[in-house]
């Protein structure tokens, strides 16, 4: 099969019936008709339809080993041109949502592709485990599966690194090993799109110290005992006019509960294995390939934000002011810097030990750290430029009511009629101030681990030896006794 249509995606998830809880109720019936989910499922379905289009075939897909077409994110890059192709495919999908769908399927398909290319690493515990990963990858490629994932333990007590081994372990852990597989019990954070994908993939967080939690596996979203507990939906059932973004792109985020879930042995990639849990991220090209997808999307998102800002500026005619130009320039600098980071990573790409053409990690780590810093600035700029315009935004019903003429008169702008002006400012509000918009700001700062962790990784991995040698040479210092590197 290789590729599925949007309708096939919707039917498959409707048939799966995962245990998804929203607002104290288990979702029954078709997920695609649930008020909280129908917007995002429709948007996701459009991604599948897009990659099936004949005119997008070369851009969005590649020929898999069975000779069929599959989504580009599954393709293992072998050349720098392949990396460029991957970027362009990521960006084509991102354009459908202005980069606001953080977890479009290409994110986890990239992760699965990367881990699978390094599958031999997983055979150190059991040769079958690397085969399990390859099998999953092959069926994902054949069936165009989508995944959600959870890497993080519940936020109960961050005073210690992770939980002690007590009788009341909260974080999901191996409770028992049986002939059939592992019994997993406990909770995990935080599955964006939890319940809206075919599979849940579980990997341990790096730096873990408790063996019962050092597990990696993937299970179908409807596995018995697996619960997705979603936050309140930010799709409040409003029209696209009123909530242009929340009504389309709210991905929902779910806490995952494993209630004595059986993970069959043929779905296990490793278990209770601290060595593999800690090697996984260093020995594979997980970081560069995943961040390559992320930053390609962030470029599109920045272009979208720039477009919104410039339309606000034009609409109320504030582009002549110096500070407005400075603010717009700051957004342009952010956008151009992101493009440069990604291109630099592709130019410096090298083949990794698993044969994958891998973008250079240094510019990508810089990009993801930088974006977490500038994204709140983008939000701020929109608020500082929009001012009261961001709350003078009557809804669609107001424009269809007896006060319509008042609105058209008093909400007109220098360069737009009232309706267009409100459309633009509502978009800016939904991007930055609504529940949907503020979650976007949180997302860009945390979805890839906290900003502090990213900074620490950069500090610990960036090679500064040439710089320090240069300074030592300049100062004629022979022996550096410093121990900070």
Ligand X SMILES: Cc1cc2nc3c(=O)[nH]c(=O)nc-3n(C[C@H](O)[C@H](O)[C@H](O)COP(=O)(O)OP(=O)(O)OC[C@H]3O[C@@H](n4cnc5c(N)ncnc54)[C@H](O)[C@@H]3O)c2cc1C
List of residues contacting ligand X (CB under 6 A) = 103, 149-152, 155, 158, 189-192, 253, 439, 442-443, 446-447, 449-450, 452
- Which pair of structure tokens corresponds to residue 223? 């596995």
Which CB, 292 or 423, lies closer to ligand X? 292
Q: Tell how far CA 107 is from the center of its chain.
A: 6
3-state DSSP helix/strand/coil percent for the chain, to nearest 5?
55, 15, 30
At closest approach, how far in Å is the CB of 194 from ligand X?
8
At closest approach, how far in Å is the CB of 450 from ligand X?
4
**Angle at CA of residue 411, ends 405 and 412, nearest 5°:** 95
* Closest residue to ligand X: CB criterion: 192
At closest approach, how far in Å is the CB of 192 from ligand X?
3
At closest approach, how far in Å is the CB of 188 from ligand X?
7
First-to-last CA distance in the chain? Answer: 51
At closest approach, how far in Å is the CB of 229 from ligand X?
14
At closest approach, how far in Å is the CB of 166 from ligand X?
19
Which CB, 196 or 311, lies closer to ligand X? 196
- Which pair of structure tokens corresponds to residue 427? 């978009």
For residue 376, report the phi and psi dihedrals to the nearest 5 degrees.
Answer: -60, -30
Question: How many CA atoms does the CB half-sphere of 385 hold within 13 Å?
Answer: 35
Which CB, 197 or 358, lies closer to ligand X? 197
Which CB, 452 or 475, lies closer to ligand X? 452
Strand partners, 71: 61
Which CB, 162 or 241, lies closer to ligand X? 162
Residues 6+ apart with CB under 8 A from 162: 153, 171, 208, 209, 210, 213
Which CB, 354 or 443, lies closer to ligand X? 443
Question: What are 116-119's contacts with CB under 8 Å, separation 24+?
Answer: 117/76, 117/284, 117/285, 117/354, 117/355, 117/356, 118/283, 118/284, 118/285, 118/354
At closest approach, how far in Å is the CB of 85 from ligand X?
26
252 close to 233: Cβ distance less than 8 angstroms: yes
Which CB, 207 or 417, lies closer to ligand X? 207
């Amino acid at each position: 099969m290789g590729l599925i249509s949007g309708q096939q995606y919707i039917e498959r998830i409707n048939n799966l019936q995962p245990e998804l809880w929203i607002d104290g109720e288990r979702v029954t019936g078709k997920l695609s008709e649930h008020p909280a989910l129908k917007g995002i499922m429709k948007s996701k379905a459009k991604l599948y339809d897009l990659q099936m289009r004949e005119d997008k075939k070369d851009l969005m897909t590649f020929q898999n080993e069975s000779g069929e077409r599959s989504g580009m994110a599954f393709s293992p890059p072998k050349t720098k041109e392949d990396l460029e192709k991957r970027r362009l495919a990521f960006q084509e999908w991102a354009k459908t949502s202005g980069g606001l769908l953080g977890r479009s399927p290409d994110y986890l398909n990239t992760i699965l592709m990367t881990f699978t290319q390094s599958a031999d690493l997983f055979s150190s515990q059991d040769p079958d485990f690397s085969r399990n990963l390859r099998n999953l990858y092959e069926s994902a490629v054949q069936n165009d599966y989508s995944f959600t994932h959870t890497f993080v333990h519940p936020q109960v007590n961050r005073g210690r690194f992770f939980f002690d081994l007590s009788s009341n372990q909260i974080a999901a852990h191996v409770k028992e090993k049986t002939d059939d597989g592992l019994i997993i019990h406990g909770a995990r954070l935080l599955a964006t799109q939890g319940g809206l994908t075919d599979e849940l993939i579980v990997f341990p967080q790096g730096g873990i110290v408790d063996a019962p939690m050092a597990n990696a596996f993937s299970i179908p979203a409807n596995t018995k005992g697996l619960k997705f507990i979603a936050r309140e939906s930010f799709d409040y059932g409003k029209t696209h006019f009123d909530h242009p973004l929340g009504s389309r792109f709210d991905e929902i985020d779910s806490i995952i509960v494993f209630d004595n879930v059986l993970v069959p042995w043929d779905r296990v990639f490793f278990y209770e294995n601290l060595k593999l849990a800690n090697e996984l991220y260093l020995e594979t090209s997980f970081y560069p390939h995943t961040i390559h997808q992320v930053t390609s999307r962030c470029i599109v998102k920045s272009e979208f934000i720039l477009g919104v800002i410039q339309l606000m500026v034009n609409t109320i005619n504030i582009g002549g002011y110096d500070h407005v130009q400075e603010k717009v320039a700051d957004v342009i600098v952010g956008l151009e810097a992101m493009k440069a980071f990604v291109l630099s990573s592709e130019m410096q790409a090298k083949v990794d030990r698993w044969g994958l053409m891998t973008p250079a990690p240094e510019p990508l780590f810089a990009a993801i750290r930088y974006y977490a810093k500038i994204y709140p600035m983008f939000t701020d700029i929109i608020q500082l430029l929009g001012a009261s315009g961001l709350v003078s935004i009557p809804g669609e019903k107001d424009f269809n009511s007896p006060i319509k003429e008042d609105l058209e008169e008093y909400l007109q702008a220098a360069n737009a009629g009232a309706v267009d002006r409100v459309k633009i400012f509502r978009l800016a509000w939904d991007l930055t101030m609504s529940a949907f918009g503020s979650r976007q700001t949180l997302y860009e700062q945390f979805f890839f681990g906290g900003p502090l962790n990213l900074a620490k990784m950069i500090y610990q991995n960036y090679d500064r030896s040439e710089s320090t040698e240069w300074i030592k040479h300049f100062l004629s210092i022979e022996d550096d006794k410093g121990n900070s590197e």
